[in-house]
Structure 1
Amino acid sequence: MKRIFRSAGLAALGTGLLAGAAAAQSTHSATSVDGRWDAALTRNGVSVPFRLDIEGDGPTLRGVLYDGFQPYEHTTSATFQDGNLTLRIDHYLTTINASLQGDKLVGGIGYQARSANVDYEFSATRHVDAAVTESKAPSIAGSWIIPLDRPSAKGEKAFHFIVEQRGTEVAASILRVDGDTGSYSGSFHDGKWVLSHYDGSRPGVIEVTPNSDGTLQVKQLSFNPQAENTKPQDNAYTVAEADSRYSSNLVAYRAEVAKAKGLPEPENYLAHTTVRDTHEAFAFNFPDVNGKAVSNDDPRFKGKVVLAIVTGTWCPNCHDEAQYLVQLDKKYRDKGLAIVALDFEEPEQQASLEREKAFVKQYGVEYTYLIAGAPSDMWEKVPQLVNLNTWPATVFVGRDGRVRAVHSGFASPASGEFHRDLEKEFTAQIEQLLSETQQQAAAVNIVPPSVTPAKAGE
């Protein structure tokens, strides 16, 4: 994560959204930070507004971050002493440090991304409900398709765009093959929605403008966290032009309109990644956090239905999936399901596993976590999967040890109907595999994929 987007126009966004709160008289104590705050992180003069709720006091103090309309992440620890606030989100290696200055919090955010440490300026003012300036907004709720001008680095030709609308307020998510962006949220002003998102990771802003032909102009004011070389453009934002998933300007079509026009469809999550030989047992052998080697031949997996998750705690979509996997583990563990995470952490995290340990604690993970290597090792360490280039990837393994399906990415609750479809798919797949005896599983005729193995790029 080398650089973040730029725009002289957006620089005032955070200020504009927070103006009402800044001008209001606070009824809170000057020694308390409890309450709702209109916060913003800023880098290179550009602000990403977000909602921050601070609750409790002393040992009960915590911060809550939102995903769209819903509370989503909370701090792992929080302190407020002598006017100084520290909010730690250890499962993202994110820390917010700020001082209370009147009715404002001013400080910074430190975040360790996969490729670099990134620092942001942080500011917040107490929230005051703003007067409604526009009583109506066009209806854009529902499912949309965003065709790409050229395939993304992962081979995608289109994305899903999912919108939930409450009057002039909108929560929207872009769903790609590896997962969604989280839910951007905001209001309708001056003919467009300006939507932002921050949940401890993946900050970003999009502008959504309805066009006269019924399409939506979606302007990504975001950035590619892995881009090594980016270039500023006149009146635009810094993006990675090499990957169309980060293109500044996208156009969304109603799903039914896109189908009628024959526009490209988003990737099939069950066909994107395949297995090189469906008759081959899925094998793994990696150490756990204590350095003890654990393989697929371990008694905890033999004769079980196994979900093997290619994952990494630096990956926001992997955080989304882990919370769902915890639910599946509780529901099906005693029925014969075993979940194992094949976790790929950056080399600098290998020694301490600081984020991995916080991740496991935060989400209450009780299934097996194995440290498989660094992200760049993935194709060497998981050679049985073809076109493996999403984080996460979920491998469904039958009682006989053979791969029965691979689901690329994870659609979180921000993806609406696609998350609900995923839940149905995972449940049906697990229950089908659990219903089979080992002999029945071995008798299943699986047709090998008609694809040529190739090493997928990141």
Structure 2
Amino acid sequence: MKITVSYLFFALSTIVFLNSCDKPSKKLKPGIWRGALITESGAEIPFNFDVVDSANKYYIEIINSTDRFKVDEITHVGDSIHIQMPLFDSEINGTLIDGKIDGTWTKHLANKDTQMTFYAQADAPWRIKEKAGAPTVDVSGRWETTFTSVNTADTTKSDTTIAVGEFVQNQSKVTGTFLTSTGDYRYLEGMVEDNKLVLSTFDGSHAFLFTATINPDSTMTDGKFYSGFSSVDDFTAKRNEKAKLPDAYSLTFLKDSTKQIAFTFPNLEKKQISLSDARFKGKVVILQMLGSWCPNCMDETAFLSNFYDKYHSKGVEVLGLAYERTKDFEKSKVNLERLKKRFNVNYDILVTGFTNEKGEAAKSLPMLNSVMAFPTMIIIDKKGKVRKIHTGFSGPGTGNHYVEFVNEFDKLIDDLLAE
């Protein structure tokens, strides 16, 4: 058989083409992906993220309802991928092949790490189900909600948390959140199929899944709240458009009738900062009790950073009092510097206390009745007296509640400046 040059070229080209077809792709494909974390009980906590190719440098945006959380510390070598969350000291490590990632999400705590199985699929814009049946109910509105957590050490005991669910439903898609006295569950997104509700969120710190049955009598039953790897709480709810929480300004207060606070804590450069310093004299001072591990604190920091830039020249000072999950100053500093960079924070953040042991946070400010929640905001007038203490924070995921808070807060500070 005579083999021509053209035939040989064709045969070699075919082999190269077939080999290239069989070779697995290790590229991070741009577009919408569906990710999921697996709990200890096997429940799947789904979320979406958008992979963006910006001048051959990839970043992702984690999507929860209208919120997009940008993550740009991505290392991709061969089929290995590392995604470092910009906040919360957590990361995703996995293997990327043919538009799929298999790996783990690791959250670094003070004395240990926690891990959850993670996987993701490219070209998957759906969140809960790719093809879902039609809803038979509409959950739009307010729901009076009770979460019940069973004590694993003593199953005869349980703790309850009162919340208000607020949802908007468009066909089968549902967005909204649960509000509590200590903060909200941020941006939740999911769906209703028939009479079953499923909502989820992942923000780099918390992985949440809510499931429930919606009944004809406007109640939710069989509610399950999956949080992280192993936590599972029950919840029930009843539609109530007048449902509301206690006044956030009434929960934390000073034990001492002098209504003053005193402290000295180091900033990130280890300089000791005190409320008695000259820079705070005659100023309205806002103390922000926060932690770099706290998603609601992230929302409050975003708000206060912009607020400070607007009001500082008017005579307002802001101090962040950080309560970290480690006693290692340098580790706390790294996490807090990430927070400051993320939100362009121009006010001082002080390394204040430790949160991994019960009662530790309260020791730092013993004049308070308790440290009930992070964040907590303390507003001090120009004479150095505490005028208001706001527990928790309802962020932009709560819609009108956030708008109302911003308007009320601006008016409060304007009134204090005018005194």
Which residue among 38, 41, 60 is the counterpart of 1:42?
38
Supply the distance in 2 between the matched residues of 1:388 and 1:409 (Cα, whole angstroms): 11
Counterparts of residues 219-238 of structure 1 (less than 5 Å): 219-223=223-227, 238=231
Match of 1:176 in 2: 180
Which residue among 255, 263, 285 is the counterpart of 2:241?
255
1:187 aligns with 2:194: no
Unaligned runs of 5+ in 1: 1-27, 226-236, 240-246, 259-264, 437-458
What is the CA deviation profile of residues 367-423 of structure 1, one whole-angstrom value per residue up to 9, with x for unaligned ones? 111111212532121122223311111001000110000000011111222222221
Which residue among 335, 339, 343 is the counterpart of 1:363?
343
Give the counterpart letter for 1:354 in structure 2.
V
1:394 aligns with 2:393: no
Match of 1:51 in 2: 48
CA contact (8 A) 2:394 2:402 kept: yes
Identity of counterpart residues, as a percentage? 24
Match of 1:79 in 2: 75
Match of 1:228 in 2: none
TM-score by length of 1: 0.77
Report deviation, 1:136.
4.8
Larger Rg computed on CA atoms: 2
Match of 1:382 in 2: 365
CA contact (8 A) 1:92 1:313 kept: yes
Distance 1:103 1:145, change over 3 A: same
Give the counterpart letter for 2:48 in structure 1.
R
Supply the distance in 2 between the matched residues of 1:85 and 1:58 (Cα, whole angstroms): 19
CA contact (8 A) 1:73 1:199 kept: yes
TM-score by length of 2: 0.83
Root mean square deviation, CA, Å = 2.8
What is the CA deviation profile of residues 83-123 of structure 1, one whole-angstrom value per residue up to 9, with x for unaligned ones? 32221114211111222211211111111246641111111
User: What secondary structure sits across from 2:249 in the alignment?
Assistant: coil
What is the CA deviation profile of residues 118-158 of structure 1, one whole-angstrom value per residue up to 9, with x for unaligned ones? 111111111345676445552222222224679999x9762
Report deviation, 1:223.
3.6
| Residue range with higher mean Cα deviation, 337-346 or 113-122 | 113-122
User: What secondary structure sits across from 2:50 in the alignment?
Assistant: strand
Distance 1:156 1:114, change over 3 A: farther
What is the CA deviation profile of residues 249-288 of structure 1, one whole-angstrom value per residue up to 9, with x for unaligned ones? 32233233x6xxxxxx533211011122353432221111
Match of 2:316 in 1: 337
Match of 2:408 in 1: 425
User: What secondary structure sits across from 2:45 in the alignment?
Assistant: strand
Supply the distance in 1 between the matched residues of 2:307 and 2:248 (Cα, whole angstroms): 19
Distance 1:150 1:358, change over 3 A: closer
1:285 aligns with 2:268: no
CA contact (8 A) 2:195 2:215 kept: no
Distance 1:219 1:389, change over 3 A: same
Unaligned runs of 5+ in 2: 1-23, 152-156
Counterparts of residues 55-454 of structure 1 (less than 5 Å): 55-57=52-54, 60-67=57-64, 69-113=65-109, 116-128=112-124, 133-147=132-146, 158-217=162-221, 219-223=223-227, 238-239=231-232, 247-256=233-242, 266-352=245-331, 353-375=333-355, 376=357, 377-436=360-419
Distance 1:422 1:113, change over 3 A: farther
| Residue range with higher mean Cα deviation, 332-341 or 88-97 | 88-97
CA contact (8 A) 1:72 1:199 kept: no
Supply the distance in 1 between the matched residues of 2:405 and 2:303 (Cα, whole angstroms): 11
Report deviation, 1:72.
3.2
CA contact (8 A) 1:147 1:252 kept: no
Supply the distance in 2 between the matched residues of 1:157 and 1:348 (Cα, whole angstroms): 30
Match of 1:19 in 2: none
